[in-house]
Structure 1
Amino acid sequence: MTSGYVYQMIYDCEYGDDITDVVFFVKNLFNQKIITLYDSRVGKYVGFGESGMKNADHYNHQGWKMEERKRQVETLCRYNARLFRRSTLDRLVPPVIKVHPAKPIDYGKRSMLECSVVGFFPQEVRLTPRRGERVSCRVDHSSQRKSLEVDWDTSSLDAKHLKKTLGIMFFFIGFTAAAGGAAYYWWKQR
């Protein structure tokens, strides 16, 4: 669109932390510039620029419009705040917990595990893993009747040690075979 005009009316509810404090705005914009603003804290329209001030004065003298704006604080903002609170703030959803090492670790060495809980930021848990040791993350949450507990899965650590042990065994088998082959070759050459 190369030319033309755009008029917008925006209804806006802004809430405090506990969503009981509410401010209701009606913003009238012309070509993306605000010309009038209704603010429920002052209970009237404020105009910007010459035409905006004329419009604000006109709106403020319309009794039915001013009564409607006062009702809209309750019917739009407070009503939707109650729905919002029920659907989000008061909703009880069990957290998801994961326990994992912060970086690759090994048995017998000082390490750090991370306990991830959606919506929380737990403190660091430092430990020195030992074979057969059980490490878990426990979370108490209002959505649960009892604590949630998730164990750290050490199978990747066990697999790492299995690979290392097998590698060392095959090295010695190969070294023994090479040494035996060299001794046989040396004996045959004599």
Structure 2
Amino acid sequence: MAAIAASTFYGKKKNGYECYSSTRCLFNSTELQDIEFIRSYYYNKIEHVRFSSDVGRFVGYTEFGVKNAEMWNNNPGQLAAMRAQKETYCQHNIDLWYANVLSKSVKPSVRLHSTMAPGCHHPAMLVCSVYDFYPKQIKVSWLRNGQETTSDITSTEKFANGDWLYQVHSHLEYMPRSGEKISCMVEHASLDEPLIINWVPPMPETERLIIVGAIGLILGLILFVAGVIYRRKSGDTSLAHRFGEKQAEDWNKDPAALSLWRPQKEMFFKPDSELCFTNVLPKSVMPLARLHSMTPPGGRHPALALCRVYDFFPNQSKTRTDAGSQ
């Protein structure tokens, strides 16, 4: 059964609310016969009078409430207004809830993990944690070798996230048995079929070390094979060199090939040489010079004079140092 609730406060004092009312709609569907409208009135946090659409009148629970109920039940207009709330208030809001909230669903995410059991009575405890699902109704069960089990389940707790979503955690104490298959099964309105998560025990430390060693061995073999391939490719260089020598020997025996290559000196290199002599070699770039002192290594002389000349062309240059005597 779902519910819609609203509260109205009339005033409050230091130690509690002086007077307030609460309105609720309890329903299983949008049909009027499945809806109950309830209006409760409180004084200092104590409900003293209530109207229920299933009863059709006010009922008092305290001396003050009984007097108020008697007075209100003698008012046909007030009774008619309260009886109409089931249709005008509840059914209207319930239609909105079914259209925008209750007809929606959010699939859960499931995590199956182990933890230590309280008091260490068992080697371990499995926890099936189901997160972020809607609506609230959900079934979490445990399977041993495909058969549902109800023993050793210590607790199943539901929590509201505060954002319309819920979470639930189910705990199963277990004693590991060889070949046993343990699963967590989740059934929810958002799922077309039950979601089953199988428990996979963590790998023992010895097996983990064996796998790490095997991976290291495989990587070593890969590096060894890569080195062999590299060496073979490097050996191919000498083979190519011998092939080049053989081909040069064959071409030198061919007069036609020699006659084709010998004129290249004049046809190809001479024009480029003339361009170089015209545009490059006659040009020159004035050098930049810097003279400074530096302390020689070992301290055998007071100082050294260093003359540095930068950025000049052509490379023919002459540097002369004139030193005066004291």
TM-score, length of structure 1 as denominator length: 0.53
- Deviation digits for residues 40-83 of structure 1 (CA, Å, limit 9, x no counterpart): 12211123445433322221232332122112112333333444
Q: Deviation at 1:136?
A: 8.2
**How do 1:28-177 residues align onto structure 2 when only pairs under 5 Å count?**
28-86=41-99, 89-100=102-113, 116=128, 118=130, 119-126=138-145, 143-144=190-191, 156-157=202-203, 161-163=207-209
**Higher Rg:** 2
User: 1:128: how far off?
Assistant: 6.3
Q: How many corresponding residue pairs? A: 154
SS at match of 1:143: coil
Contact 2:112–2:199 (CA under 8 A) maintained in structure 1: yes
- 1:121, CA displacement in angstroms? 1.8
User: Contact 1:114–1:125 at 8 Å: present in 2 too?
Assistant: no
Cα distance in structure 2, aligned partners of 1:54 and 1:142: 47
Contact 1:97-1:115 at 8 Å conserved across structures: no
Partners of 1:99 and 1:114 within 8 A in 2:
yes
Per-residue deviation, 1:137: 7.1
Shift of 1:165: 8.6
Q: Deviations over 1:137-184 (max 9, x none)?
A: 787765356886767666x41656224898xxxxxxxxxxxxxxxxxx
For 2:24 and 2:97, the matched residues in 1 are separated by 15
Greater relative CO, 1 or 2 (CA 8 Å, sep 6+): 1
- Tell me whether 1:11 sits opposite 2:23 in the alignment: yes
What are the Cα deviations for residues 105-146 of structure 1, in whole angstroms up to 9, with x where unaligned? Answer: xxxxxx99958373332323358678xxxx987877653568
- CA contact 2:142–2:183 (8 Å) conserved in 1: no
User: What secondary structure does 2:26 align onto?
Assistant: strand
Q: Distance in 2 between matches of 1:140 and 1:3?
A: 46
Q: TM-score, normalised by structure 2?
A: 0.35
91 and 116 in structure 1: CA distance in 2 versus 1, 3 angstrom threshold:
farther
Q: What's the CA shift for 1:95?
A: 2.7
Asked if structure 2 preserves the Cα contact closer than 8 Å seen for 1:40 and 1:73, the reply is: yes
CA spacing shift, 1:157–1:41, aligned 2, 3 Å: same
SS at match of 1:65: helix
Aligned-partner Cα distance in 1 for 2:87–2:58: 18
Q: Which of the two has greater strand per residue?
A: 2
Could you say if the C-alpha distance between residues 125 and 99 of structure 1 is closer, same or farther in structure 2, counting changes exceeding 3 Å?
Answer: farther
Q: Distance in 1 between matches of 2:62 and 2:101?
A: 40
Q: Distance in 2 between matches of 1:49 and 1:152?
A: 57
- Offset of residue 12 of structure 1: 2.6
Instruction: Provide the secondary structure at the position in 2 that maps to 1:123.
Output: strand
SS, match of residue 66 in structure 2: helix
RMSD between aligned residues: 4.5
Aligned identity (percent) is 23
Look up the SS of the partner of 1:120 in the other structure. Answer: strand
Q: Cα 1:85–1:61, aligned 2, differ >3 Å: closer, same or farther?
A: same
After superposition, what is the alpha-carbon deviation per residue over 1:86-120, rounded to whole angstroms, capped at 9, x for unaligned?
555532322323344577xxxxxxx9995837333
